[in-house]
Amino acid sequence: MYDEILLTTDGTECSVQAAKHGLAFAEAFDAAVRIITVINVQAAGGLFDAGGVTADYVESLESRGQKMIDEIADLAAPTTTVRTEVLKGIPSDSILEYAEKESFDLVVLGTHGRTGVQRVLTGSVAEHVIRHADVPILTVRERDERVEPSFERILVPTDGSEYAQQAVEHGLSVAEAFDATVHALYVVDTGIIAPRLEDHIPETVRAALETEGKTAIEAVESQARRTSVETVTSLTEGVPEREILAYADEHDIDLITMGSHGRTGLDRFLLGSTTERVLREAPSPVLSVRKPVTDE
Ligand code: ATP
Ligand code: MN
């Protein structure tokens, strides 16, 4: 599933945490990793009133970048092939361009998690890459506890769409690699039918959605049967992102694997609203998978 994994660092503790997760993936999948950092020379140049950026200064930025990269490379398993590169440019653009040019199978990004109302995907870097990249992305939010990556329980929320189906495949592969259990979850979306009357959905509508949910969950189970992965299934009712987050919390989920889009599937929205909200608040890392355009 993953042969080449891209790790990005800006030297922050958060990016180191994310990289550790990426390295765990690399080890489990026997993938090669590339570790990069992007030096924004132009922004750094803004510090100088006149005269621009000196070659010495650029050099010092480069060696600082290389140090940040090396710190992560040192954490790699001895069996993992590691290559590194210091890039110059605007971080969000450079990472995106690099990920696509070199066709990585997975990009790992750290996001600064803040509890509460604040936006979680900080700086535009993670957000920009998640919205625009065609590559599956593993985002790891900054958090205090559970720093060592472990993947025992993987949540795969599905709305039965092809996007979700794509994510199921990733969830199962990851589960196989880490010998984890997959939790398939379908949420009967009460919000779309009766935003104000969550408890009063017409019975016929609820029944239809439940049937759809069962089909979606069975699809996961039948896919899982082709592997050695154990599955647990659940069908709940409510607002999808809230149910997904609550489930992840209650079941101590280690990874959520979901589609970049779902049933609405409008590409003009660069990211589906369920995934966007889960990314902002997830207690665990999230692997978001975009459906390849070629499949359409
Ligand atoms: P939107 O709902 O914002 O109009 P969308 O339907 O294209 O857009 P999302 O709802 O964000 O996109 O779907 C993204 C992913 O979220 C899906 O691939 C699936 O993994 C998960 N998901 C969405 N809805 C549900 C649901 N009702 N139950 C379980 N998982 C869901
Ligand atoms: Mn949706």
Per-residue pLDDT tens for 150-209? Answer: 999 999 999 999 999 999 999 999 999 999 999 999 999 987 665 565 567 788 888 999
The three-point CA angle 167-173-175 to 5° equals 100
**pLDDT at 30 exceeding the cut of 70:** yes
**pLDDT at 143 exceeding the cut of 80:** no
Please give the model's pTM, rounded to 2 decimal places.
0.91
Weakest mean pLDDT among 49-58, 137-146, 260-269: 49-58
Distance (Å) from CA 239 to ligand 2 centroid: 10
Closest of 157, 103, 107 to residue 128, by C-alpha: 107
Per-residue pLDDT tens for 234-272? Answer: 999 999 999 999 999 999 999 999 999 998 887 767 889
Ligand 2 ion: residues within 5 Å (CB): 262, 264
Task: Specify the fold of 4-141.
Answer: Rossmann fold (3.40.50)
Q: What is the DSSP letter of 104?
A: -
Q: Write out the residue limits of the CATH 3.40.50.620 domain(s) in the chain.
A: 4-141, 153-284
Residues with CB under 6 A from ligand 1: 157-159, 161, 163-164, 167, 185-187, 189, 240, 258-259, 261-265, 272-275
CATH of 153-284, one of 3.40.640.10, 3.40.720.10, 3.30.1950.10, 3.40.50.620: 3.40.50.620
- Name beta bridge partners: 110: 140
Pairing outcome for strands 137-141 and 106-111: parallel
